[in-house]
Amino acid sequence: MTTVGGSEELQSDQHVDLMLNMGPQHPSTHGVFRMLLRVDGEVVLDAEPHIGYLHRGSEKLSEGEQYNQVITLFDRLDYISNFNNEWVYCRAVERLMGLEIPERAEYIRVILGELNRIASHLLFLGTFGLDAGAMTPVMFSFRGRERIQALFEAVSGARMMHNYFHIGGLKEDVPDNFPQLMTKLLSEIWVDVEECDKLLSFNEVFVARTKGVGAIDLETAIDYGWTGPCLRACGLEYDVRRAEPYSLYDRFDFDVPVGKDGDCWDRYFVRVLEMYQSLVIIEQALKDMPPGPVMALGRRLIRPPKGDVYVRAENPRGEIGVYLVSDGTDKPYRVKVRPPSFCSLSALRHLVKGAYIADAVVILGSLDIVLGEVDR
């Protein structure tokens, strides 16, 4: 069995596999991902992922920026869940400095982080629908996401690259009408999430396309380093918010949704259930939010003591880890990010082997990768 690119002379009875180049300019490779599929008719025999089209050297760039400036780089890693990224980096520096941040700031961080999780999962829901060929979910889910982004804009001044969580707390307090905004938003988002859920979750064709597709067993998923919703879809109740509660997560009452089969539909549905749980967390946080300062530090120039720290957090895509080394100057000596998308993506080859071309698209969509984070 030989593989040709297209130009060689072929014998008439020779069996040839087709090399199909998918991406980086393909509607459903979610950014600039590229995979080379070796296909036999419609069946994918092998897939070779190519990453790096969005490599910006964020980790190296971080070494040349002051601690507070690095936040903007973290905004641009996983550009779908900016707050969560800022948060984990700020926590790393704060841990290094042994800094306690004001309670109000923590509450606001939790609220914004969970809202961002919903926004991220809504985007996933819409694009996943598109991957499967449904055009309506994306319109419904982006409406909800747009509302969340409007709130982000009201709070931080930016819809996406917020630069709002600073080391020691927040850049500034939330606007005065924040509780009203949140009350209105929450009631709308409940409906939005539920609408998206009802629209797609049990759609017969959608179920046919996703249930049983791209299934992975728990052992293999752990071997690939999967975390987050993808891992939980395989049946393991592992959530950093629960396993190693950071910030205020030990104060809230919430479930960690878990799947069983580890296929595309489970990965999808775990995310849907997570959106409801995030709403539950936000409601609790909003109720308990105390007044007070939001910034623990009076100065902008930060010089953490010498040392290193590893901090992890539950991002919408899974467990993000930040390893930070300080040499005592105002710039980090080394920043290493452990991105969840990268680990999910590494299993792609395993998942798409033997699947159909259409499945390859759905499987890639179900991993919910963000190339900004994979390539860094």
Partner 1 sequence: MSAKEVLILILALLILFTALSIVVLSLVWIERKFLGRLQRRLGPTRTGPFGLIQPIADALKLVLKEDLIPSWADKAIFWVAPLLVLIPSFMIWVTIPATSDLALKNMDLGLFVIVALLVVSILGLLLAGWGSANKYGALGGLRAAAQLVSYEVPLVMVVVSIAILSQSLDLRVIAASQVPLDTAQPVLKEVMAAGGTFNHVGVPFVLIFPLGFVLFLIAGLAEVGRTPFDIYFAESEIVGGPFVEYSGAHWSVFFLAEYINTFLIAALAALLFLGGWYGPLLPEWFWFLLKTYLMVLVIFWIRGTFPRLRIDQLMAFGWKVMLPLSFAGVVITAVYRFYEWPAWSLSLMSLAILGVVGYWLYRRFTQPVIELAKAYGRHPGRTASAR
Report which residue type is found at 106: E
- The answer to whether residue 269 forms part of the interface with partner 1 (CB under 8 A) is yes
Q: Does 254 bind partner 1 (CB under 8 A)?
A: no
243 binds partner 1 (CB under 8 A): no
Build a one-symbol-per-residue string for 308-347: x at contacts with partner 1 by CB under 8 A, - elsewhere.
----------------------------------------
Identify which of residues 111 and 264 has a Cβ nearer to partner 1 in the complex. Answer: 264
Q: For partner 1, which is the closer residue by CB, 20 or 158? A: 20
Binding segment (CB under 8 A) for partner 1, from list 93-101, 161-169, 174-182, 255-263:
255-263
Applying CB under 8 A, among 53, 276, 323, 333 the residue interacting with partner 1 is 276
Instruction: Give the residue with the Cβ less far from partner 1, 296 or 357.
Output: 357
Stretch that binds partner 1, among 67-75, 77-85, 123-131, 312-320 (CB under 8 A): 123-131
Residue 100 contacts residue 106 (beta carbons within 8 Å) = no
Q: Is 209 in the site for partner 1 (CB under 8 A)?
A: yes
211 counts as binding partner 1 under rule CB under 8 A? yes
Q: Are 260 and 254 in contact (CB under 8 A)?
A: no
Does 20 interact with partner 1 (rule: CB under 8 A)? yes
Piece of 48-56, 112-120, 147-155, 257-265 that binds partner 1 (CB under 8 A):
257-265
Q: Please identify which residue in 49, 144, 257, 372 interacts with partner 1, judged by CB under 8 A.
A: 257
Stretch that binds partner 1, among 19-27, 160-168, 285-293, 332-340 (CB under 8 A): 19-27
Within a 10 A sphere around the Cβ of 94, how many other Cβ atoms?
Answer: 21
124 binds partner 1 per the rule CB under 8 A: no
132 interacts with partner 1 by CB under 8 A: yes
18 binds partner 1, rule: CB under 8 A: yes
**Counting contacts by CB under 8 A, is residue 187 touching partner 1?**
yes
User: Considering beta carbons, is residue 53 or 356 the nearer one to partner 1?
Assistant: 356
Residue 139 interacts with partner 1 (CB under 8 A)? yes
Site residues for partner 1, window 353-372 (CB under 8 A)? Answer: 356-359, 361
Q: Is 260 in the site for partner 1 (CB under 8 A)?
A: yes
**Tokens 């249930």 appear where?**
211
Q: Cis before residue 24, ω within 30 degrees of 0? A: yes
Among 66, 69, 72, 136, binds partner 1 (CB under 8 A): 136
- Interface region with partner 1, contact rule CB under 8 A, candidates 106-114, 127-135, 152-160, 366-374: 127-135
User: 136-156 vs 103-132: helix axis angle to the nearest 10?
Assistant: 160
What's the chain look like in SS3?
CEEECCCCCCCCCCCEEEEEEECCCCCCCCCCCEEEEEEECCEEEEEEEECCCCCCCHHHHHCCCCHHHHHHHHHCCCCCCHHHHHHHHHHHHHHHHCCCCCHHHHHHHHHHHHHHHHHHHHHHHHHHHHHHCCCHHHHHHHHHHHHHHHHHHHHHCCCCCCCCEECCEECCCCCCCHHHHHHHHHHHHHHHHHHHHHHHCCCHHHHHHHCCCCCCCHHHHHHCCCCHHHHHCCCCCCCHHHHCCCCCHHHCCCCCCCCCCCCHHHHHHHHHHHHHHHHHHHHHHHHHCCCCCCECCCCCCCCCCCEEEEEEEEECCEEEEEEEEECCCCCEEEEEEECHHHHHHHCHHHHHCCCEHHHHHHHHHHHCCCHHHHHC
Residue 28 touches partner 1, criterion: CB under 8 A = yes
CA distance 268 to 43: 23
Cβ neighbours of residue 203 under 8 Å, at least 6 residues apart? 134
93, 122, 185, 258: which one binds partner 1 (CB under 8 A)? 258
Closer to partner 1 by CB, 1 or 135: give it.
Answer: 135
Positions that interact with partner 1 (CB under 8 A): 6, 18-21, 26-28, 41-42, 129-136, 139-140, 143, 187, 190-191, 194, 201-209, 211, 255, 257-261, 265-266, 269-270, 273, 276, 280, 356-359, 361
